[in-house]
Amino acid sequence: MFQLRKLPFAQESLSQFISAKTFEYHYGKHHQTYINNLNNLIQGNEFENMHLLDIILKGSGGVFNNAAQVFNHDFYWDSIAPQGSVMSDQLKEAIEKNFGSIEKFQEELTNKATTLFGSGWCWLVLVGDKLEIVQTSNAQVPMSEGKIPLLTVDVWEHAYYIDYKNARPSYLGKFYEFINWGFASKMYEQAKNKGMEALREYISNLYA
Ligand code: FE
Protein backbone atom coordinates (compact mmCIF):
# COMPACT_ATOMS: atom_id res chain seq x y z
CA MET A 1 0.00 0.00 0.00
CA PHE A 2 1.31 3.38 -0.99
CA GLN A 3 0.67 6.40 1.18
CA LEU A 4 0.57 9.99 -0.04
CA ARG A 5 3.94 11.54 0.68
CA LYS A 6 4.24 14.64 2.84
CA LEU A 7 4.98 17.89 1.04
CA PRO A 8 8.69 18.78 1.44
CA PHE A 9 7.90 22.43 2.34
CA ALA A 10 5.37 24.50 4.25
CA GLN A 11 2.60 25.38 1.78
CA GLU A 12 2.59 29.05 2.88
CA SER A 13 6.23 29.38 1.80
CA LEU A 14 5.09 28.94 -1.80
CA SER A 15 1.96 31.08 -1.60
CA GLN A 16 3.34 33.57 -4.14
CA PHE A 17 3.42 30.70 -6.66
CA ILE A 18 0.74 28.18 -5.64
CA SER A 19 -2.37 29.08 -3.62
CA ALA A 20 -3.77 27.07 -0.73
CA LYS A 21 -6.74 26.23 -2.98
CA THR A 22 -4.49 24.71 -5.62
CA PHE A 23 -2.64 22.68 -2.99
CA GLU A 24 -6.00 21.51 -1.65
CA TYR A 25 -6.99 20.17 -5.08
CA HIS A 26 -3.69 19.30 -6.74
CA TYR A 27 -2.06 17.62 -3.76
CA GLY A 28 -5.05 16.77 -1.55
CA LYS A 29 -7.34 15.46 -4.29
CA HIS A 30 -5.49 14.73 -7.57
CA HIS A 31 -2.30 13.28 -6.10
CA GLN A 32 -4.28 11.42 -3.42
CA THR A 33 -6.58 9.95 -6.08
CA TYR A 34 -3.63 8.55 -8.05
CA ILE A 35 -2.43 6.90 -4.82
CA ASN A 36 -5.88 5.45 -4.10
CA ASN A 37 -6.34 4.20 -7.66
CA LEU A 38 -2.90 2.61 -7.69
CA ASN A 39 -3.52 0.83 -4.39
CA ASN A 40 -6.80 -0.55 -5.71
CA LEU A 41 -5.31 -1.64 -9.03
CA ILE A 42 -2.33 -3.53 -7.59
CA GLN A 43 -4.22 -5.36 -4.87
CA GLY A 44 -3.65 -9.10 -5.09
CA ASN A 45 -1.65 -9.16 -8.32
CA GLU A 46 1.98 -9.21 -9.49
CA PHE A 47 2.38 -5.47 -8.81
CA GLU A 48 1.51 -5.66 -5.13
CA ASN A 49 4.71 -5.04 -3.10
CA MET A 50 6.66 -4.15 -6.27
CA HIS A 51 8.97 -1.11 -6.20
CA LEU A 52 7.15 1.91 -7.66
CA LEU A 53 9.85 2.31 -10.34
CA ASP A 54 9.28 -1.26 -11.51
CA ILE A 55 5.50 -0.83 -11.53
CA ILE A 56 6.04 2.18 -13.81
CA LEU A 57 8.50 0.34 -16.08
CA LYS A 58 6.48 -2.90 -16.28
CA GLY A 59 2.90 -1.71 -15.92
CA SER A 60 0.47 -0.70 -18.63
CA GLY A 61 -2.99 0.87 -18.83
CA GLY A 62 -4.39 2.10 -15.53
CA VAL A 63 -1.57 0.59 -13.50
CA PHE A 64 1.02 2.53 -15.48
CA ASN A 65 -1.00 5.75 -15.58
CA ASN A 66 -1.61 5.88 -11.84
CA ALA A 67 1.84 4.67 -10.79
CA ALA A 68 3.50 7.18 -13.12
CA GLN A 69 1.27 10.01 -11.93
CA VAL A 70 2.10 9.17 -8.31
CA PHE A 71 5.81 9.45 -9.12
CA ASN A 72 5.42 12.49 -11.40
CA HIS A 73 3.72 14.45 -8.63
CA ASP A 74 6.19 13.26 -5.98
CA PHE A 75 8.98 14.54 -8.20
CA TYR A 76 7.19 17.80 -8.98
CA TRP A 77 6.79 18.65 -5.29
CA ASP A 78 10.52 18.11 -4.86
CA SER A 79 11.24 20.25 -7.91
CA ILE A 80 9.85 23.36 -6.22
CA ALA A 81 10.94 25.14 -3.06
CA PRO A 82 10.78 28.53 -1.36
CA GLN A 83 12.67 31.15 -3.38
CA GLY A 84 16.42 31.32 -3.04
CA SER A 85 17.42 27.72 -3.77
CA VAL A 86 20.81 27.73 -5.49
CA MET A 87 22.21 25.34 -8.11
CA SER A 88 25.56 23.66 -7.54
CA ASP A 89 28.62 24.76 -9.53
CA GLN A 90 28.63 21.35 -11.23
CA LEU A 91 25.03 21.63 -12.45
CA LYS A 92 25.59 25.25 -13.49
CA GLU A 93 28.59 24.23 -15.53
CA ALA A 94 26.67 21.35 -17.15
CA ILE A 95 23.71 23.59 -18.02
CA GLU A 96 26.01 26.20 -19.58
CA LYS A 97 27.80 23.50 -21.55
CA ASN A 98 24.61 21.83 -22.82
CA PHE A 99 22.37 24.84 -23.40
CA GLY A 100 24.85 27.70 -23.95
CA SER A 101 23.84 29.71 -20.88
CA ILE A 102 21.42 29.71 -17.94
CA GLU A 103 19.25 32.20 -19.85
CA LYS A 104 19.07 29.92 -22.90
CA PHE A 105 18.20 27.00 -20.65
CA GLN A 106 15.33 28.97 -19.12
CA GLU A 107 14.16 29.97 -22.58
CA GLU A 108 14.15 26.38 -23.85
CA LEU A 109 12.46 25.02 -20.71
CA THR A 110 9.76 27.68 -20.87
CA ASN A 111 9.29 27.23 -24.60
CA LYS A 112 8.98 23.44 -24.43
CA ALA A 113 6.66 23.56 -21.41
CA THR A 114 4.49 26.21 -23.09
CA THR A 115 4.20 24.42 -26.42
CA LEU A 116 3.49 20.96 -25.01
CA PHE A 117 0.04 20.27 -26.46
CA GLY A 118 -2.59 19.18 -23.96
CA SER A 119 -1.65 17.59 -20.63
CA GLY A 120 1.82 16.48 -19.67
CA TRP A 121 5.17 17.20 -18.11
CA CYS A 122 8.35 19.01 -19.04
CA TRP A 123 11.61 17.60 -17.66
CA LEU A 124 15.29 18.30 -17.29
CA VAL A 125 16.91 14.89 -17.74
CA LEU A 126 20.34 13.30 -17.85
CA VAL A 127 20.97 11.10 -20.88
CA GLY A 128 24.40 9.51 -20.76
CA ASP A 129 26.49 12.56 -19.90
CA LYS A 130 24.21 15.07 -21.61
CA LEU A 131 21.42 17.24 -20.24
CA GLU A 132 18.21 17.49 -22.25
CA ILE A 133 14.80 19.09 -21.85
CA VAL A 134 12.05 16.68 -22.81
CA GLN A 135 8.27 16.79 -22.96
CA THR A 136 6.08 13.86 -22.01
CA SER A 137 2.33 13.56 -22.66
CA ASN A 138 -0.25 12.69 -20.04
CA ALA A 139 1.40 10.33 -17.51
CA GLN A 140 4.43 9.40 -19.64
CA VAL A 141 7.85 9.40 -17.96
CA PRO A 142 11.41 9.88 -19.27
CA MET A 143 12.61 6.70 -17.51
CA SER A 144 10.77 4.62 -20.12
CA GLU A 145 13.46 5.80 -22.55
CA GLY A 146 16.31 5.41 -20.07
CA LYS A 147 16.44 9.15 -19.33
CA ILE A 148 17.01 10.12 -15.70
CA PRO A 149 14.83 12.97 -14.41
CA LEU A 150 16.48 15.84 -12.53
CA LEU A 151 13.60 18.33 -12.45
CA THR A 152 9.99 18.46 -13.64
CA VAL A 153 7.11 20.84 -14.10
CA ASP A 154 3.47 19.75 -14.25
CA VAL A 155 1.66 21.38 -17.15
CA TRP A 156 -1.68 19.64 -16.73
CA GLU A 157 -4.28 22.39 -16.41
CA HIS A 158 -5.11 21.25 -12.87
CA ALA A 159 -1.62 22.48 -11.85
CA TYR A 160 -2.37 26.12 -12.70
CA TYR A 161 -5.98 26.75 -13.64
CA ILE A 162 -7.18 27.96 -10.23
CA ASP A 163 -4.31 30.48 -9.89
CA TYR A 164 -3.45 31.40 -13.46
CA LYS A 165 -6.57 30.36 -15.42
CA ASN A 166 -5.45 29.50 -18.96
CA ALA A 167 -2.19 31.50 -18.75
CA ARG A 168 0.34 28.66 -18.76
CA PRO A 169 3.29 31.03 -19.49
CA SER A 170 2.54 33.06 -16.32
CA TYR A 171 2.53 29.86 -14.29
CA LEU A 172 5.83 28.82 -15.86
CA GLY A 173 7.41 32.20 -15.15
CA LYS A 174 6.55 31.77 -11.46
CA PHE A 175 7.66 28.14 -11.52
CA TYR A 176 11.09 29.25 -12.64
CA GLU A 177 11.38 31.56 -9.62
CA PHE A 178 10.54 28.69 -7.29
CA ILE A 179 12.69 25.89 -8.75
CA ASN A 180 14.35 23.71 -6.13
CA TRP A 181 17.87 23.96 -7.54
CA GLY A 182 19.27 22.24 -4.49
CA PHE A 183 17.21 19.16 -5.33
CA ALA A 184 18.09 19.20 -9.04
CA SER A 185 21.78 19.60 -8.15
CA LYS A 186 21.64 16.62 -5.82
CA MET A 187 19.83 14.50 -8.41
CA TYR A 188 22.40 15.50 -11.04
CA GLU A 189 25.28 14.49 -8.79
CA GLN A 190 23.71 11.14 -7.91
CA ALA A 191 22.50 10.38 -11.44
CA LYS A 192 26.02 10.97 -12.75
CA ASN A 193 27.43 8.57 -10.17
CA LYS A 194 24.77 5.88 -10.06
CA GLY A 195 22.64 6.22 -13.20
CA MET A 196 19.02 5.09 -12.86
CA GLU A 197 19.85 3.60 -9.46
CA ALA A 198 19.80 7.19 -8.18
CA LEU A 199 16.12 7.44 -9.08
CA ARG A 200 15.36 4.05 -7.52
CA GLU A 201 16.93 5.30 -4.29
CA TYR A 202 14.95 8.55 -4.49
CA ILE A 203 11.71 6.54 -4.72
CA SER A 204 12.79 4.07 -2.02
CA ASN A 205 13.30 6.97 0.36
CA LEU A 206 9.72 8.13 -0.23
CA TYR A 207 8.13 4.73 0.28
CA ALA A 208 10.38 3.07 2.85
FE1 FE B 1 -0.76 17.40 -11.57
Q: Express each pLDDT in 52-68 by its tens digit.
A: 999 999 999 999 999 99
Residue 49 burial (CB count, 10 A): 8
- How far is the centre of ligand 1, averaged over its atoms, from the C-alpha of 61 (Å)? 18
41 DSSP β-pair partners: none
Average pLDDT, rounded, for the chain: 98
Q: H helices then E strands: how many in the chain?
A: 10, 3
Residue 208 has a pLDDT of 81
- How far is the centre of ligand 1, averaged over its atoms, from the C-alpha of 138 (Å)? 10
Give this prediction's pTM.
0.98
- How far is the centre of ligand 1, averaged over its atoms, from the C-alpha of 129 (Å)? 29
Residue 5 burial (CB count, 10 A): 17
- How far is the centre of ligand 1, averaged over its atoms, from the C-alpha of 102 (Å)? 26
pLDDT digits (tens, 9 = 90+) for 122-167: 999 999 999 999 999 999 999 999 999 999 999 999 999 999 999 9
Q: With a cut of 90, say whether residue 12 has pLDDT above it.
A: yes
Which is nearest to 183 in space by CA: 166, 198, 164, 165? 198
- How far is the centre of ligand 1, averaged over its atoms, from the C-alpha of 100 (Å)? 30
Residue 92 has a pLDDT of 98
Virtual CA dihedral for 109, 10, 20, 82, nearest 10 degrees? -30
- How far is the centre of ligand 1, averaged over its atoms, from the C-alpha of 72 (Å)? 8
Which is nearest to 74 in space by CA: 16, 41, 35? 35
Q: Where are the alpha helices (DSSP H) in 116-180?
A: 161-164, 168-177
Average pLDDT over residues 14-20: 98
- How far is the centre of ligand 1, averaged over its atoms, from the C-alpha of 152 (Å)? 11
Which is nearest to 119 in space by CA: 139, 141, 95, 146? 139
